[in-house]
């Protein structure tokens, strides 16, 4: 039951944040679920593309920058298409 409450983002502040576009909100949700029980998680664009088919690395990076600007995540691209991130 605790895991379900951790995954429940229905009341999360990101949904009301007009500075964050819908695509970035979807990416945030994906990253949030991938990072459950981790301080720092790793992701690659190929794995994201299995869920979000139309996303490309440049658009993904821009959405990550937007999420970082508004303090939802901190990220580092350590190689082309490979990211390390932390949910704030």
CA 83/CA 30 separation, integer angstroms: 14
Name the band, by pLDDT with cuts 50, 70 and 90, for residue 7: low
End-to-end Cα separation, the chain, in angstroms: 23
User: Residue 14: pLDDT above 50?
Assistant: yes
Q: What is the percentage of the chain residues whose pLDDT exceeds 90?
A: 60
CA 6/CA 33 separation, integer angstroms: 9
For the record, the structure tokens of 51 come out as: 């869920």
The crossing angle, in degrees rounded to 10, of helices 57-69 and 22-34 is: 90
Supply the pLDDT for residue 1: 34
Name the band, by pLDDT with cuts 50, 70 and 90, for residue 4: very low
CA 81/CA 46 separation, integer angstroms: 8
């Amino acid at each position: 039951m605790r895991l379900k409450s951790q995954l429940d983002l229905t009341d999360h502040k990101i949904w009301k944040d007009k500075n964050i576009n819908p695509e970035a909100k979807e990416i945030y949700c994906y990253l949030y679920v991938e990072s459950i029980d981790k301080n720092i998680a790793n992701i690659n664009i190929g794995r994201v593309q299995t869920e979000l088919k139309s996303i490309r690395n440049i658009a993904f990076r821009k959405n990550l920058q937007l999420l970082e600007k508004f303090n939802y995540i901190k990220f580092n691209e350590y190689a082309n298409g490979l990211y390390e991130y932390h949910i704030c």
